[in-house]
Structure formats: C-alpha cells, structure tokens
Structure 1
Amino acid sequence: MRIERVSVEPLDLPLREPFEIALGTQHAAENVAVFVETENCVVGVGDCNPDPHVTGETREAALATARAAGDLVEGESVADYRTLVSRIRRTFPGMVSATFALETAILDAYCRERELPLSELLGGAPGAVQTDLTIGICEPDEAGRRAARAVTEGFSALKVKVGTDVHRDVERVVAVADEAPGATLTVDANQGWTPKESARFVDRLGERGVTIDLVEQPVPADDVAGLARTRDRLPVPVAADESLFSPADAVRLVREEAADVFTVKLGKSGVLGAADIAGIARAANVDLMVGCMLESAVGIRTSAHVVSGFGGFSHVDLDGNQLLETDVVERDRGPEIPVTGPGHGVDPASVQ
C-alpha cells in the first residue's frame, strides 16, 4: 500500500481547432501526467492542464512542482491520502494544477488497490454524466457552424465564450442560438467585462429574443464587489469561476453574496477541495457547476466521478477532451462521459 515511486512526464495533445477565450488562444493542450506506483505494483495516474492565465502556472513550473511533490509522498501509504494531499497543498501553495495531478494519481492508486470506482469513495455510485460543449471565440458564421455540428453530435447544452466587444459577443451568441434553437445556452466571459458591459450584453441578447441560463465570471477575478454588483443587475444567474479556487474563496463569495453558482474545477481546487466547496455551496443554497481545463480523459473522467460521487451539480461543463484532436483513449463524439472503475476508469498504460 506504500507509494514505491512517482513519475512525472509532459503530455502533449493537439486540439481539434484553435480554442480562443477572452484570456488568450490555445493551439494544443500542454499537459502534465503523473504516475503513482505502489509496492503492490498498482499504478494510478493523474493529469492537469496548467494555464498561466488562469492558474498562474507554466507547464515547466508544473512539471518541476509535481516532481518535487512526488518526493514528499514516496514511501507513504496511499491510505493516508487526505494527509498527503493536505501536505502537498501546504508545501506548494498556488501550484494548483500540479498538485491536482498528483492528488488524482494518489486517489486513483488507492481506489485501484481496492477495485473501487472513485465515485464510490466520494459517496455515490458510478453513472454516466452528460456534458455541454463549448464554442470558443470566433466569427458568428463559424460559431453557427460549430453549433450546428454540435447538435448533430447529440449535444443539447452549449456554452459560448464571450468577454470581448459586447456587439461581437452578442452576434456570436445569436448565431449559435439560430443554429441550435432547442439547446440550453450559457456564456462565459472569462473576466472580460465590467458590470455595465455585462448588463448591456444581457439586455441586447434579450432584444434579439435569445435566452441564456447563466453568465460565468463576467468581471475580473479579484473584483468580488463588481461580481456582486453584476449579480444584482442581471436577470440571469451569475457564476464565479476564476474568483473561486479554495473553500476560503467560497466562504468570501457567500458572505459578499457575489454569485448564484459556484464553478468547481479540480484544476483549481483538487478533488478533496472540491468536496469542501460543494459543502459550503449546499449550506449557503448556492448552485454548483463543474468545469474543466483542457485535460485528457484522465482529468475529465475524474471530474465526472466527482459529479456522480457528490451529486447536486446543476451545470456540467466537462468537454475539455472533446476539444482535442487526439485523446489518451478512444472515444465517440457526444455528450455522454462514461463513469467506470476502478479509480477514474482510464487505464494508466494508455497514458504512457
């Protein structure tokens, strides 16, 4: 049951097409894979997608951190996963992607030792999860084309990236609505607007007859007061994403009444941190959304196990690997994410 060795490798995955959001454009997922091998020769695997614009980490920094963190846990029992995760988080504050990848590998190894699905460790039976699909920043014609393709692939919920010029953003969302008239629509501004711009965007969409279910992170992450003002002004729910990394952030957002929805991303909080955030949200009557970075099936299915294990997520945005040209496992295009075991269900050998 003790951890025999930890190994860390870069994991490069090309994207299906360039992915642009208000914070920048990505052409490939430059990920980090972490492997934890126990003395029983059981291997667990985790991955992460460090993004300097969101988590503040470069891939090089995440690789170095994961290797140093691995040295801390070698020789320790995977059964002490809570203590190990707490130790690496305290030792490497702010290196959230790197510690998430190692945490996932530890939990995966623990569950594989017991032939247990990760969701059951978290409190729920495994069951398939349905995700939306994200349409990045692009011209309206292209956004409409991507929306039409998503509909043919079975997606009934779409998230549209916004946060640039309000007029351009409105035209993009209208184009998506025209091509996917029955789809549930949400938008994600990735900190790109002010409270006034957020209100103008929603007003103009309403004038065009388009209804959205959610506006995610409309203002800068550190402007919690602005997020609260935006929530007061908008007639649709407002979600906190980049403003929410830790349970302490969740407490602040509740106290300042700044969000209707908490976007939980394991690449920010980790698995056990996500459990704490979910508990705070439920106690404060705040809805939950689960999101992702550009992780492979390893990270995405880990998040899907969190959804099955915890329950209560109103919005599921786990499409990161849908945006990849190639993944670590074969998969069909579509909204269903399989949730199987042991662990998160992805064979570590497929990642190596």
Structure 2
Amino acid sequence: MNNVTFTVADAAVSIIKAPLVSPFRIATGQHDELDNVFVRLTTSDGVRGYGEAAVASHITGETVPGTVANLKSAAAALKGRTIESVEEVCRELAPSFAGNHAGLAALEMALLDVASRLQGIPLYRLFTGITSREPALAFATDITVVIGSLEEARATAREFASRGFTAFKIKIGKDEELDLARILAVREMAPESRLILDANMGFDAKRMLAFLDRLDSHGCRPVLLEQPVPKQDWDGLAAITRALQGSGTLVCADESVGSLADAQRAVESNAVSAINIKTMKSGFFEGAQIARLASDHGIPLMLGAMMESALSITASAHLAAGLGCVDFADLDTTFFIKGDLSHSPYLDESGRFDLAGAGPGIGVDLSKSWNTD
C-alpha cells in the first residue's frame, strides 16, 4: 500500500440518519431507517476524509452509543498526530474497537479516504496487488428482495428487472411456504436472472436441504446459498456444502466469517464453497487479507454490506475493484435509502458500478449531510 504523511488537525464524529424507501427485513430483524455513525478527519492542509459505521445491533450486537464512544476516543487520539502509515495506525487502534468492527471500519475508511485524496488517486488503487488478480473496475451488484409479502417480492423483481438488474438476492428464513412462493415469483418476473438465497441463519441443515429439494422440484436452483444455519454451526455448513457439491449452488459463509481466523477455519475445514466479506465485519485491511486467502485457495468471494449509505457502499466498491477477485457484489443498500445519502457517483440505476474514471479518494462528500451538533 502506498504511504503518505499527513497531520490530523481535527477529527469529529456525528450520527447521521436517513429514511428508507421501505423497511429492510431479514430473518433476524429489520432496519426502519439508516442510523449510522460517521467520522470526519481534516488534515493540516484542509483535506477531509470520511468514514461510516453501519451499526446492525440485531446481527452483531454493536450499538450506536458504543460506536460513538469508541470513535470519539479514537478521534481524540488522532488530533494533532502525524500519520506516516495508515495501516499501522489502524492496527494500533484496533484493540480499542474489540467487539465494534463497524467502528474500526469507519476509522479505516476515513484514513484511507484522506490518504488517497492526498495522493490524488482513487481509493481502489490502495488495494491493487494484494491478490494476484487484475483490478476489476466495472461490475454489477445484485438487488435484495427483503422478507415480506408475495406481492412485495413480485413488485420488487418486476421493478428492478425492468431497470436492468440481472441478479436477485432473496431473503428467506421466516416462513418456508411463503419463501418458496416468493422465490418462484422472482424467477417468474426475472427468468434470466441469477438467484441468490440468504437465510441469515434461519434454517438447520436438514430443513435447508429439504427446502432446496422442493425448489428443485420446480426446476429452480440458486447460484449461491448464503449463511443457511447459525454462525457457530460449522458442521451444518459442512453438511450442506457436501450435499450440494457439483450441483451448481455455492454455500457461502457470512455471519460465520467475521475475521481472518474464521476464514482460515472455513478454508481448512472445507465447510463452505464461498465467503462473504463485509467491511463492517472485518474492516478494510483484514477484509483484504481474507480476500487474498480466498483467492489463493480458489474460493469465490461475495462482498456485501450492512445498511450502508453511499459513502460506505462506494468505499466497498473501491475495495472490490482493487482486489479484482469479487465474484458476487452485494452492494445495493443505496437503493433502499432516500435523499442525498443514496447517491454513489459510480453506480447507475441498473446496478452497475464503473470506477474507470474515479477521482481521488472515495468520491463521496458528506459536507451537506454532516450534523455539526
């Protein structure tokens, strides 16, 4: 990674909220609004960088007050400090974010934004060369069909297929009969699209395989099955992976892999056939290590998100572009947000990212949204 020296003149933390188009419902809970914690760093030269922590208490147990406290403590430690290596500073401060990886991700994001802005390069350039793959500057995200009614699933699929989306990620795990109908409705509305199922730990191995058999009887097979069982159920993950070997459906760990150590366990045990990286789970630097591990072992990667605004989504798009080894992009949460925080400069209405002409840094300015209270 390229290093640049700078001094942090000011560091501030703010909670920024935004309404959602509709509730974002999954098997373990839901978001009713975006309610995230942001950090802003300003250098002695007046360059600003921004970071975002997307707090998903129903998934990770993190809280907004705890994240604010951790980021304010880090901000105080950074004020007046001269930074020579962003990565070293982040590793130094990481222990203070134990159990609060979203907070660490926000800090890393802001420092990376500053470093790349100062060098006049897009953020993705800081992550090229980490894997053996060439940068991938253009790619498409899927769109999520949240848990809801059959009519809602059909309407979502119809709308986004008409926009040009070609991959649909369907949340399941609350009602198997309704889940089955919703999946088939999405296939009906978007017959040429790839289907991804995300159970968010809502099944056990036996029930999951039986559910997939039912889908098979309708001639419907997903390309990827994400986190079908509770995160500590490695035996269940392995059983599903073995059963689906050669079927064309990948079994992807999400909640089960929140760290490099988890990823190493997944690789060594052959428990899954794909891994989902999220910066809010592992941060940018550890996420890049997980990507390199997976890439070295030929394991497909998904890069996903919590309920993140355009800032964090665009930063993750830079990470995906620089690593070049992301097979499934799940960076769609801006389509669920209303207002300024929904606009990424490199994402179009059909779900395609294009960073070929990206400017310095992340490319998202929060000055209009920043709460100075």
Task: Give, in whole Å, the separation in 1 of the partners of 2:350 and 2:97.
Answer: 37
Question: Map of 1:2-41 to 2, 5 A cutoff?
Answer: 2-41=7-46
Match of 2:144 among 131, 134, 145: 134
Task: Give, in whole Å, the separation in 2 of the partners of 1:242 and 1:351.
Answer: 31
Greater mean deviation of Cα atoms: 46-55 or 181-190 = 46-55
Task: Give, in whole Å, the separation in 2 of the partners of 1:211 and 1:141.
Answer: 21
2:359 aligned with 1:341: yes
**Are 2:54 and 2:306, in contact at CA under 8 Å, matched by a contact in 1?**
yes
Q: Residue deviations 1:8-58, cap 9 Å, x none?
A: 100101111111100112111111111011111100001121011222211
- Aligned AA (2:361): G
Q: Which residue of 2 aligns with 1:300?
A: 313
Task: Give, in whole Å, the separation in 2 of the partners of 1:120 and 1:261.
Answer: 25
2:186 aligned with 1:181: no
Count of aligned residue pairs for this structure pair: 352
Task: Give, in whole Å, the separation in 2 of the partners of 1:14 and 1:185.
Answer: 28
Task: Give, in whole Å, the separation in 1 of the partners of 2:80 and 2:115.
Answer: 14
Task: Give, in whole Å, the separation in 1 of the partners of 2:203 and 2:193.
Answer: 25
Task: Give, in whole Å, the separation in 1 of the partners of 2:342 and 2:29.
Answer: 27
Gaps of 5+ in 2: 1-5, 129-133
2:207 aligned with 1:197: yes
Task: Give, in whole Å, the separation in 1 of the partners of 2:305 and 2:173.
Answer: 18
Task: Provide the identity percentage.
Answer: 35
Q: Residue deviations 1:278-332, cap 9 Å, x none?
A: 1111222211110011111110000000111000111111001111122426465
Gaps of 5+ in 1: none
**Are 2:136 and 2:320, in contact at CA under 8 Å, matched by a contact in 1?**
no
**Are 1:148 and 1:180, in contact at CA under 8 Å, matched by a contact in 2?**
yes
Q: Which residue of 2 aligns with 1:154?
A: 164
**Are 1:295 and 1:320, in contact at CA under 8 Å, matched by a contact in 2?**
yes
Q: Which residue of 2 aligns with 1:266?
A: 279
Q: Which residue of 2 aligns with 1:244?
A: 257
Secondary structure of 1:10 counterpart? strand
- Aligned AA (1:281): A
2:94 aligned with 1:89: yes
Match of 2:232 among 216, 222, 236: 222
Task: Give, in whole Å, the separation in 2 of the partners of 1:351 and 1:260.
Answer: 40
Q: Which residue of 1 aligns with 2:301?
A: 288
Task: Give, in whole Å, the separation in 2 of the partners of 1:205 and 1:297.
Answer: 35
Greater mean deviation of Cα atoms: 172-181 or 223-232 = 223-232
- Aligned AA (1:334): S
Secondary structure of 1:28 counterpart? strand
Q: CA deviation at 1:139?
A: 1.5
Closer/same/farther in 2, CA of residues 327 and 197 from structure 1, 3 Å limit: farther
Question: Map of 1:166-177 to 2, 5 A cutoff?
Answer: 166-177=176-187
Q: CA deviation at 1:269?
A: 0.9
